[in-house]
A and B are shown apart, each in its own frame.
Chain A
């Protein structure tokens, strides 16, 4: 019913062919997916992109077989603390990073294959009351953790064997950091957002906090996903999972904000919103952004209606929709590395791989 209404309501953007279903991961264990990701994996001299799926108690590695079929290679069992999310490490190989905890992240572990012992294993990287974490290029992991007295922001460089080679403390802002985003085009810069709705920028080499700027209340409860450096400006992609619908922007999933680090001034340049009157906004109302992911200039989000919507963030244009399927609502969506498409999962159902 929803699918039938999409085409006339969203006439200028989303077309079915923008997302092409390639395959479905059939998990015989019946466990509910909490996250999906991709990882470079090298075995027998062959380096390929593999899929990683996580349930609350296990993480599975899938390899491509013939005819768009995927087979499970190995499952790490993590029964003591629930898995919350997979943390992508953009250019690492044979390493999977996961966050575990109850309501908040309590520990971060690396899952890997050890050729020395010819076995799969996992090792602890960090524990604490972890508020935000991001994986960066060159096997670096940045996290913020909080005690009653203070906040710690730390970058860990991971070794190929899952240990930590080096730890660098970054200067924390006063407010709690809610998210980090790597800066495309600047290896040593890192962007973050705070609970008080500020954007912060660090120098990862020195640990200095270079700038903190409040982005205003037009964009409440901002979470940064990605940043791009261009012509002396940072273009930061934000989402607002806890925001109410605003009169100025309607039902917004993503904002692109231009931020001038030199002056500390910022300005919104593009909104990616749901078109008013979309059936995606119909009951269960109010339909809002739940969670999302950004790759290159494409943003994908799961809405409370159970649909996945994809936007071209540069134009603020909705370009593809996956309506809730008869078997259930979409619960998570992630871009694969290297432009390998979109992954979408249902809470009690399969994970599907789409070409975009």
Chain B
């Protein structure tokens, strides 16, 4: 899969989404 298919990929997605998501 290329990045263009799936959008920007972040190795730290779990921490980033946890910081953004409602508690």
Contact = CB atoms under 8 A, between A and B. Distances in A.
A209 interface: yes
A203 interface: yes
Interface SS of chain A: helix, strand, loop or mixed? strand
A341 B10 CA distance: 36
A211 interface: yes
A232 B10 contact: yes
Prevailing SS type, chain B contact patch? loop
Given A189-B14, A203-B14, A267-B1, A210 B21 contact: yes
Of B9, B11, B23, most buried by chain A (CB within 10 Å of CB) is: B9
Nearest to B12: A232
Interface string B1-23: 10001111111011011100111
B6 A261 contact: no
Contacts of B23: 206, 208
Contacts of A189: 14
A203 B18 CA distance: 7
Contacts of A171: 22
A269 interface: yes
B1 A269 contact: yes
Listed from nearest, the 4 A-B pairs whose CB atoms lie closest are: A263-B7, A260-B6, A210-B17, A232-B9
21 contacts: A171-B22, A188-B14, A189-B14, A201-B17, A206-B18, A208-B17, A210-B17, A210-B21, A231-B11, A232-B11, A233-B1, A260-B6, A261-B13, A262-B8, A263-B7, A264-B7, A265-B5, A265-B6, A265-B7, A267-B5, A269-B1
